[in-house]
Amino acid sequence: MYIVVLIKIEWRIEMKQIRLEMFLDLLVDFAKKLRFEDLPDEVVDQAKRRCIDAIACAAGGWYDEGVQATHSLLAYYPVDSFPAGAPLWKDMMSTPWDAAYFNTHLIRALDWNDTYLSLEPAHPSDNIGTLLALCGLEKISGKDFLTAVALAYEVHCRFCDAASLRARGWDHVIYVNIASTFAAAKVLGLSHEKIREAVALALNSGIVMRQVRAGDQVSQEKGASAAKAVRAAVWGALSARHGMTGPREIFEGKFGFIKQVSGPLRLEVFSDLGEIFKLPQTYIKVYPVEYHAQAVVEAALKLRKKIKDFNIRDIDRIHIESYEAARTIIGDAPKRRPETKESADHSIYYVLALTLIDGEMTLDQYEPRRFTDPAVRALIDKMTDVKEVEEFNRAYFNAEFPVRIIVHMCNGKKYSVTIRNPVGHPARPLSNNKLKTKFRNLCISHLKGDRVDALFETLQSLDEVSDMRDIIQLWRRDYE
């Protein structure tokens, strides 16, 4: 298999003919040669914003029951004789791979960190937990950190463009594994050959089944699946650093990734590496719900304003229209009766009902008592199944995420709201003020108000930080 690929090297475009078995070398070359100076200003700015958002989500994630279980496990087996990673909590000494696990679990637990949607969905800021962990091993500058973040986003998002894993029964965090391995290798300064070994080692150990987010009720493992992927990535990168080798032909081999997991990769999506950066094309979440439901929250809030003297008892039925991914991921039948937070934030019906009833969608709406609330279930029962609209399917493949909610009242009146893209989408960017509000709201229970502001301001100037350990200290200082 051959494909013509354009590779940007130090701002020169070179034409090469790439064989499938040279694909990994293409990615390694890009990883080795990418410099901070190659990043457009927009990419640097957006990378800082994703770091701010990820650390905010990590603060909120501390109260998640699954995170508490992980913390209990790691604290039960303390590490005091190993060069420590940097987990985002005060009382932990940890191996680098377990620090990466814990950081990523914190970031991911609330399902509130950023998103990229293509043939495969992704939460690219999962990779930031990996890099924060490695700050405990190496002196990493803010510029090098941001460069590795941008690299992770490039690899992660382009794999999502290249093939659907969920269509073949595998989970999207496998792409986190690959991206985090490249990012870790970048900050560790691995050679070309050792990066190849790191990817092979990590990917061979980082295959996760789609069942983790399927079935009648989604478990806490959903929030930890990306954490397991990055733990394998850090283990692979450090193993390669110390001389371990991985399986050859990890992508194209007889029993390799393409044959066994992904199916054919659309290699052409890697053709503009270094020219067009994916990071600004990812989406920050305003609400703690699965991304396909972000627009649902907005639509529900608008409907409450449109309907005078709003009362759910006056609703006869609710019609929902969207696209295939929304219907199949958050609109299938089991989502009508969520019993866990992980199922509820992936239920278009629950999200719509709670927003209509409460006039807001925050973490408070996930109190367990609400899952069986008769008023919530009664309103869900008035909702039709999600209708897949061909126009919206076409819009989805043009990076839009439309939803239409139509409310039919008992008195015969009808109210309709259509949202094409939610706030936080690149077409409707989240303002710095709103990002700071999200950051403050999630961090304020952990840091004093002035410390929250200081951390926010420092993250906004991340490219001026000489040692990322200063960020970790700023986060922890209130606990000393």
CB atoms < 10 A from the CB of 39, how many? Answer: 23
Tens of pLDDT along 312-357?
899 999 999 999 999 999 999 989 999 999 899 999 999 999 999 9
Domain count, the chain: 2
Question: Beta partners for 170?
Answer: 209
What CA–CA distance (Å, rounded) separates 219 from 227? 15
CB atoms < 10 A from the CB of 390, how many? Answer: 9
Q: Quick one: pLDDT at residue 474?
A: 81
What CA–CA distance (Å, rounded) separates 375 from 417? 23
Question: Is 165 within the bounds of a domain?
Answer: yes
CB 167 within 8 A of CB 183: no
Q: Which residue has the tokens 């899952």?
A: 371
Same domain, 314 and 254: no
What six digits make up the tokens of 81? 């004789």
Question: Is 318 within the bounds of a domain?
Answer: yes
Same domain, 242 and 306: no
Same domain, 344 and 262: no
pLDDT exceeds cutoff 80 at 389: yes
What CATH number has the domain bearing residue 91?
1.10.4100.10
Please provide the average confidence, as pLDDT, over all residues in the chain.
90
What CA–CA distance (Å, rounded) separates 113 from 366? 17
Same domain, 277 and 144: yes
Side chain identity at residue 372, one-letter code: T
Tens of pLDDT along 121-172?
999 999 999 999 998 888 999 999 999 999 999 999 999 999 999 999 999 9
What CA–CA distance (Å, rounded) separates 465 from 36? 13
Give counts: helices (H), strands (E), the chain. Answer: 20, 8
Q: Quick one: pLDDT at residue 160?
A: 97
Question: Is 480 within the bounds of a domain?
Answer: no
Same domain, 86 and 180: yes
What six digits make up the tokens of 470? 């200063």
Decide which of 419, 451, 472 is a domain's last residue.
Answer: 419
What CA–CA distance (Å, rounded) separates 148 from 133? 13
Tens of pLDDT along 280-322?
999 999 999 999 999 999 999 999 999 988 888 999 999 999 9
Closest by CA to 353, choosing from 423, 410, 289, is 289
Closest by CA to 30, choosing from 266, 280, 273, is 273
Q: Quick one: pLDDT at residue 17?
A: 52
Same domain, 415 and 369: yes
pLDDT grade, residue 11 (50/70/90)?
very low
Question: Is 477 within the bounds of a domain?
Answer: no
Question: Is 433 within the bounds of a domain?
Answer: no
Same domain, 274 and 303: no
Helices (H), 307-414: 324-330, 341-344, 348-358, 368-371, 374-381, 390-396
Tens of pLDDT along 53-84?
999 999 999 888 888 888 787 776 666 655 56
pLDDT grade, residue 218 (50/70/90)?
confident
What CA–CA distance (Å, rounded) separates 56 from 456? 10
Same domain, 152 and 180: yes
pLDDT exceeds cutoff 60 at 14: no
Q: Quick one: pLDDT at residue 213?
A: 80
Q: Quick one: pLDDT at residue 6?
A: 41
Q: Quick one: pLDDT at residue 12?
A: 37
pLDDT grade, residue 385 (50/70/90)?
very high
Same domain, 176 and 44: yes
Classified as helix, coil or strand, 252 is: coil
pLDDT exceeds cutoff 90 at 210: no
Tens of pLDDT along 21-38?
789 999 999 999 999 999
Tens of pLDDT along 237-258?
999 999 999 999 999 999 999 9
What are phi and psi for residue 381, nearest 5 degrees?
-65, -15
What are phi and psi for residue 19, nearest 5 degrees?
-85, 155
Q: What DSSP line would sit under 453-479, residue for residue?
A: HHHHHHHHTGGG-S-THHHHHHHHGGG
Residues 6+ apart with CB under 8 A from 281: 116, 157, 399, 426
Residues 6+ apart with CB under 8 A from 189: none
What CATH number has the domain bearing residue 380?
3.30.1330.120
Range of the domain at 379: 291-419
Question: Is 455 within the bounds of a domain?
Answer: no
Q: Quick one: pLDDT at residue 83?
A: 55
Residues 6+ apart with CB under 8 A from 311: none
The pTM of the full predicted model, rounded to 2 decimals, is: 0.91
Decide which of 250, 281, 312 is a domain's last residue.
Answer: 281
Question: Is 236 within the bounds of a domain?
Answer: yes
pLDDT exceeds cutoff 70 at 87: no
Question: Is 427 within the bounds of a domain?
Answer: no
Q: Which residue has the higher pLDDT, 404 or 213?
A: 404
Same domain, 33 and 84: yes
The distance between the two most distant Cα atoms of the chain, rounded to a whole number of Å, is: 73
Q: Which residue has the tokens 């020219």?
A: 275
Decide which of 248, 281, 314 is a domain's last residue.
Answer: 281
Same domain, 276 and 295: no
Same domain, 353 and 216: no
Q: Which residue has the tokens 């930890």?
A: 224
State what percent of residues in the chain have pLDDT above 90: 75
Helices 192-205 and 221-241: crossing angle, nearest 10°? 150
CB 294 within 8 A of CB 401: yes
Q: Average pLDDT, stretch 436-450?
A: 89
